[in-house]
Structures are given as C-alpha cells and as structure tokens.
C-alpha cells in the first residue's frame, strides 16, 4: 500500500544534506519518490508501507548523521510549541558554543593583526615573551575549537572517508583539519622541516577563526530560519484550548480536543471560538481577521456559520459544533500552508542540481588548486612559499564554497511568502502555483460574486409621492416581508439595516408574474412590474426606466389603485473594492476579461463601471472553458477567478485557478489559490505577493551564485599572478557565514513589505 508522509529531519546542516538524504531515499527499495527541503528541514516521502517502514527509512540515513522525527507530537498549538522549544534548545546550545569561541577568536585576530602590521613595519615585532606565549597558547585554543566547537565538521570529514558522502561539514572539516595538522607537524618537527619549508608560518589561527565565523553564521542562520516559519505557529496559538459545552443541562469546560459533533457550545464576550459550527441562539460581532485578513468584525446571528480560532468581540451566543479537530477550516488552512511551505518551486530545480554536485566538485577543485600551487607555483616562488600559498588556497576554497546560500535561496522566500499570504487570507496550494502566478498575463473573472456582490440590493429610489423615501420603504418592505423572492429579501434587508419599522399587512396576495398586493391600514398597495401597472390602468411612461433596465437594474413599482408612489431599483451591486482592484491589476500590466451569463447590456455597463478590458456575455460554463483555451492558444498565461463550483471546468483549465471563497464551509484544496472572504482585492495582493516572492528568490539566487563565482577563484589564487590578491581563509569563513545569513535576511524582508 503506497503511503505519502512528511517527516521532520534532524541533523541537516546545509543544502547538500538535502541532496544526500533525497538520493539515499530514492535508491531505497519500496520508496516511490522523495523530496527533501532544506528550508523546512523536512522530507516528503512516498513509500510502500508493506516493503519499508518509517523506522527503516530513518535507519537508512542514520549512519550519515541524520534521522527522521518519528514520534507523534501533540496536536494543535502545543505540538508547534513543543517543536519550537526543541529548536530553541538547539539554538541555545549553538549560542553557548559561539560565546565560548568569541574570546579565543579575539585573541587569534589580535595575534594575526599584530603580525600583519609588523610585516608592514606599522608596529614593532612582538617581544620574545609574548611571541612564545602565543606560540604555545594558539595550539591549545585550536585544539579546543577543532575537537569541541568543530566536532560536527570532523564528523562530516569522518563520514566522507567512511561512506563517501560529502556535505558542507565535510569541506569545513577537511579545510580546518588540514590547517591544524600542517601547523601541528611544523610545531612538532620544526628543526627537521626547516630546510624544506618556512617553519615560521603556522595556521592555528586560521582553524580557530574559520570555525568561529562559520559557527556564528550557522547560529545566525538558524535564528533567522525560526522567524521565517512563524505563520503556522501564530495560526495555531490563536486557537482556543478549551470549550464551554452544555452537557446534561450543565455548562462544563472541557479541552477542545474532546468536543464532539452536534455538541452545543457557549461563547462569551472576548472568547475564542473553539470549533466550526452554526449559531443556534444569540448574536454577536466576530473578528475573523486571523482567517480572512479583514480587520472589521462581522455580525453573526442565528443560522450563520462561525470558524474555529476566530474571536467573539461583544455578545454571548450558543452554537452547534459541525466540524471538530482536523475537520475545521483552520486545520485545513494549517495543513495547506505546511504543504505549500514544504513544496518546491520549479525555479529551485537548478539550485538543487548544482547543490547536489557542488561539494564533490569543490573537493576536486581544492586538491587541483593545491597541486597547481605545488607544481607551477614552486617554479616561480620556490617550494616553501608555494606550499604556504597552496595550503591557504586549499583551505580558502573549501571554506568559502558554501552551497547553503543556494539551498536556502528558494525555500526561505517560499516559506515567508506562503505564510504572509495565509495571514492576508490568501491560501496558496504549492510553490509551483506561486511561481505560475508570477508569470500571469491575463486574469479572467466571473461577474457574479467576483465583480459584483452576488446578491440583489436596493440601489436607488425614484420618489414621485408626498411621502419620504423611508415611508415608501416601510410600505414596500411590509408587503415584501410576506414574499420569499430574492428581490423581496433585498428590500426587507435594506429596511432592517435602516432600522425602518414594518407594519402589519392584511389581504396579502401574490399576483403571478406581476407582483404582490396587500392592505396596510385602510390603504391597498401594489408592488410589481410594468405589467401590474398596466392592469391597474395607471398612466406610466416606460421610457423613464429604460436607462436603468439597460444597466441591469430591476424596477419595483409601488402604487395605490390610483397613483404610482415611487420606483425602487434593485441590482446586483458592484463590490466597492472591484474598481480599485482592476486598476491595480492594470498597473501590474495584466489584462482582465469578464465572463458572465448576463445579457450584453448589463455586462457592458458593469465592465465600463469597473474598467474591465474585455467582456464575454451570455456564456454557459463550457463557453468559459473555451475562452480560457482561446487565451492560452495566444500564448497568454491565464489566471481564472471564480466561485469554484459553477466555474470548475474553467478553473481547472486555467494556468492558475483562483477560488473566491466565502464562509467557512469551503473546499480550499479545489483551486491553486483560495481567496478567503471572496474579496477581489485579495486577487491583486496574491499576484503582488507572487511577484514579491519571486523577486526575492531571484535576488537570493543571484547573490548565492555571485558569492561562489567570485569567491572560489579569489580563494584559489586565480587573481594572484596579475593583482597579487590571495584570500585569507579567515575572510573566506566570514564571507561563507555572511552569504547564508544575507539570503535568509533578504527573504525575511518579504514579511515587512506591504501588498
């Protein structure tokens, strides 16, 4: 039976670690596929559970210094807190090692600096006492740094020798060990070696400072990486820990994990909603910003759905649990964000390929460079000087050649980008979707529910009586309150919002295809279309509402037996944010096409109001699909935004399907991107986020390649014959540490940018 699971991995130190683990799993019998992400330190493995177990998978990589986290963590925020506590403990241990290394590093840099300044006659040579003191102190400090602080690098060296698997630790281990062994040999056999090499030069200081800088860089990188993935932690920590349920007529507070379907739950003011459900009693305003990104609380009354993790701001209410545990909306979101953050974008393929072969190539280059120094360099500089420069170059290449920056370039930006989207109510299915969205040239939108609100509203009143507008609404709403028609609902909702009182209606009657009538007080009123007015033989000029009907508005004429009192116009109103959203899409260079089943006049009017480029009206769902194919045939990259149900074929065909989700009962996996709250302005934010994230990835990849393209030749001495430049391994270590930290730091900038 084929199973797919995601495991956290312990022991990963660099991008080449991901390549080693991935290749090991892929060669394992029973494994169908494996994808390892250095940014999230996780492996997504598809395997046959009958052939191999997770424990056996972990055993496969254990000799290489890695292991899978197999124990089940507690669910919810506690699990995330537990994982973060482990990370913080690791970080604390790294910090302690860095702190112990700082004084040794300062002493080493002081001695190095003094020697350099003395060679340029800027200061006097160090006295014999201090020279001898440091001559004996530096080997002791280097021994501590290599065998205590540098233990992971020595283990990397050992595993390379035993298993032939090399990672970044291997390079550091070989480089610092070479400097240490050479220096120790010179110290032990000084007199014997004196005729052949310059025994005055030792490199204990290189071992000390390089390990210190790299350890500092790894600490800063680990600290920064914790910040990149805080979106899920914030979502989980906002969930309620307990629920106040009604059992056997009593209010009992229980852990949220024990809530069952159909249970009645009480939520008090300022309380968190523990699970998804439907309000059965009471009303309140609920802050849904943690799900939708919308700051304004939403009014919730009997029959309205509510979601786990949202906050009750004012009143008290009771609701029935409909979804609990992993079924809740927030649980789906968390799962989706985790999977998206762990997925790989196509742009990462090149970096992964380079990282997988990078370490072996660097090892070859380092030894080749040493060989060139010892052969060609000896002819021009002499053996002693060539050996000294060769060793410096050998160590420098191994230290500066860091694939970590390459490995971190894409995943850190993806982690931050996906997390930022989740906080804004933009749910991204995977990294590939985010990359596709960046390339979108055309956006196709459905009218109803995307550009318009998707429900009729009272838009205007033409009053031809002595009564006030509110009096007309009171009469009409009293009549319509007896009807179940959507237009009737729009009128009664408007009256409710305006706090207009309704009057009792007698002798109410539905007039099929024309309208309604009823008596309020002693007056009989009629409300309906032009046919009803014609039947009443009341004089009426149809041209007075021609413009409104062409705009897609529905006129409701209110009259008595003798006179028309007014005309109330009903329409599916344009969303307030739609006009600005379309303008921003144009600023991003994107063309917008609107598809609708409405008639040509209504569609054209709405498109003109909003500023849409192309309109296709009177279309059926299959025609929407054809339009997507037509645009793609023209070489366009198309994103389709719709409700995810009627537009399913078109959403599936589009390069990026965007579901405009409303409410809490939504299948968020149905599209590449889901915009919570059905807000079209989030569509603009999603595209802006994709561009921001991809720009960050490209910047990261540029700097990661730049460090290595420039650093390796510089460390190898390529520029020495012409410019006399040779990179000290100490500066190579500093550059290596800075490269990873700068890449993570650049990714973190995405969090602070405004969408």
Q: CA–CA separation, 674 vs 427, rounded Å?
A: 5
Residues 6+ apart with CB under 8 A from 552: 571, 572, 598, 599, 601, 602, 603, 605, 606
Q: Is 456 exposed, middle or buried (0-12, 13-18, 19+ CB in 10 A)?
A: buried
Q: Taking Cα atoms as reference points, which of 748, 747, 736 lies closest to residue 700?
A: 747
Q: How far apart are the C-alpha atoms of 525 and 511, rounded to whole Å? A: 13
How far is the C-alpha of 738 from the C-alpha of 743, rounded, in Å? 9
**For residue 559, how many other CB atoms are within 10 A of its CB?**
24
Count other C-beta atoms under 10 Å from residue 523's C-beta.
10
DSSP three-state, residue 276: strand
How far apart are alpha carbons 527 and 607 in whole angstroms?
31
With beta carbons less than 8 A apart as the criterion, state whether 615 and 593 touch: yes
8-state DSSP, 542: G
Q: Return d(Cα 116, Cα 134) in angstroms, integer.
A: 15
Element at 34 (helix H, strand E): strand 31-37
| Residue 262: C-alpha distances to residues 245, 253, 265, 456, 589 (Å) | 11, 16, 9, 33, 49
CB 101 within 8 A of CB 149: yes
Question: Per-residue b/e over 88-97, b at no fewer than 16 CB within 10 Å?
Answer: eeebeebbeb
Choice among 446, 598, 643, 655 that is catalytic: 446
Go through the chain and tell me how many residues it has. Answer: 755
Of the candidates 753, 747, 720, the residue with the CA atom closest to the CA atom of residue 385: 720
Q: What residues contact residue 263 under an 8 Å CB cut-off, 6+ apart?
A: 245, 246, 247, 320, 321
CA gap 566, 201 in Å, rounded: 101
Q: Cα-Cα-Cα-Cα dihedral of 370, 372, 375, 379, to 10°?
A: -120
Q: DSSP letter string over 327-383? A: GSHHHHHHHHHHHHHHS--TTHHHHHHHHHHHHHHHHHHHHHHHHHIIIIIHHHH-H
Tell me, yes or no, if 430 is annotated catalytic.
no
Q: How far apart are CA 715 and CA 386, in angstroms?
A: 15
- Beta strands 656-661 and 673-676 are parallel
> Hey, what are 631's tokens?
């645009």
Structure tokens at 14: 């660099």
* Burial letters 409-448, b for 16+ CB under 10 A, else e: bbbbbbbbbbbbbbbbbbbbbbbbbbbbbbebebbbbbbb
* Catalytic residue annotation: 446
């Amino acid at each position: 039976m084929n199973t797919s699971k995601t495991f956290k991995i312990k022991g990963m130190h660099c991008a080449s670690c991901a390549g080693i683990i991935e290749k090991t799993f892929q060669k394992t019998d029973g494994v169908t596929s494996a994808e390892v992400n250095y940014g999230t330190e996780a492996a997504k493995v598809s395997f046959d559970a009958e052939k191999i177990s997770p424990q056996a998978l972990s055993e496969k990589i254990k000799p290489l210094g890695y292991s899978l986290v197999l124990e089940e963590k507690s669910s919810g925020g506690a699990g995330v807190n537990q994982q973060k506590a482990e990370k913080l403990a690791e970080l604390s241990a790294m910090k302690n090692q860095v702190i112990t290394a700082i004084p040794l590093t300062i002493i080493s840099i002081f001695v190095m600096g003094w020697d350099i300044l003395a060679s340029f006659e800027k200061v006097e040579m160090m006295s014999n006492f201090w020279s001898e003191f440091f001559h004996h102190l530096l080997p002791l400090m280097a021994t501590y740094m290599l065998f205590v602080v540098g233990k992971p690098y020595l283990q990397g060296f050992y595993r390379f020798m035993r298993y032939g698997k090399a990672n970044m630790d291997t390079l550091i281990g070989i480089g610092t060990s070479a400097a240490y062994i050479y220096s120790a040999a010179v110290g032990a056999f000084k007199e014997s070696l004196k005729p052949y090499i310059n025994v005055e030069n030792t490199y204990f200081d290189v071992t000390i400072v390089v390990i210190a800088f790299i350890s500092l860089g790894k600490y800063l990188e680990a600290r920064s990486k914790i910040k990149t993935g805080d979106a899920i932690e914030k979502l989980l920590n906002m969930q309620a820990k307990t629920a106040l349920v009604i059992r056997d007529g009593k209010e009992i507070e229980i852990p949220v994990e024990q809530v069952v379907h159909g249970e009645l739950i009480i939520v008090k003011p300022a309380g968190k909603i523990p699970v998804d459900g439907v309000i059965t009693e009471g009303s309140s305003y609920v802050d849904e910003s943690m799900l939708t990104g919308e700051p304004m609380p939403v009014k919730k009354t009997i029959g309205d759905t509510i979601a786990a993790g949202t906050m009750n701001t004012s009143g008290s209410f009771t609701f029935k649990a409909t979804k609990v545990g992993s079924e809740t909306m927030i649980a789906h979101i968390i799962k989706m964000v985790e999977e998206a953050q762990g997925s790989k974008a196509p742009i990462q393929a090149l970096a992964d390929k380079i990282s997988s072969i990078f370490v072996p190539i660097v090892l070859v280059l380092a030894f080749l460079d040493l060989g060139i120094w010892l052969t060609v360099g000896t002819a021009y500089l002499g053996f002693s000087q060539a050996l000294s420069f060769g060793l410096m170059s050998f160590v420098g290449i191994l230290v500066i050649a860091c694939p970590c920056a390459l490995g971190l370039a894409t995943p850190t930006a993806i982690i931050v980008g996906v997390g930022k989207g989740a906080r804004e109510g933009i749910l991204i299915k995977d990294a590939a979707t985010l990359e596709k969205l960046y390339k979108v040239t055309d956006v196709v939108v459905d009218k109803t529910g995307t550009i318009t609100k998707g429900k009729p509203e009272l838009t205007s009143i033409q009053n031809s009586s002595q009564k006030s507008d509110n009096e007309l609404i009171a009469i009409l709403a009293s009549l319509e309150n007896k009807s179940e028609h959507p237009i009737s609902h729009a009128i009664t909702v408007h009256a409710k919002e305006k706090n207009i009182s309704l009057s009792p209606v007698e002798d109410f009657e539905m007039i099929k295809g024309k309208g309604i009538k009823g008596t309020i007080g002693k007056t009989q009123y009629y409300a309906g279309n032009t046919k009803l007015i014609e039947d009443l033989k009341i004089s009426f000029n149809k041209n007075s509402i021609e413009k409104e009907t062409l705009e897609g508005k529905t006129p409701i004429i209110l009259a008595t037996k003798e006179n028309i009192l007014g005309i109330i116009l009903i329409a599916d109103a344009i969303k307030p944010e739609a006009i600005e959203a379309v303008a921003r899409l144009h600023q991003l260079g994107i063309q917008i096409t609107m598809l609708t089943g409405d008639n040509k006049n209504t569609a054209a009017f709405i498109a003109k109001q909003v500023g849409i480029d192309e309109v296709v009206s009177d279309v059926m769902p299959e025609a929407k699909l054809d339009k997507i194919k037509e645009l793609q045939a023209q070489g366009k990259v198309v994103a389709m935004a719709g409700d995810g149900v009627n537009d399913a074929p078109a959403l599936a065909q589009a390069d990026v399907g965007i579901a405009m989700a409303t409410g809490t009962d939504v299948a968020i996996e149905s599209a590449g991107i889901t915009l919570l709250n059905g807000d079209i302005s989030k569509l603009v934010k999603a595209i802006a986020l994709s561009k921001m994230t991809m720009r960050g990835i490209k910047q990261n990849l540029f700097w990661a390649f730049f460090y290595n393209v420039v650093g390796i030749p510089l460390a190898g001495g390529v520029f020495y014959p012409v410019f006399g430049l040779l990179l000290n391994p100490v500066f190579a270590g500093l550059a290596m540490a800075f490269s990873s930290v700068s890449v993570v730091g650049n990714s973190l900038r995405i969090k602070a940018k405004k969408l």
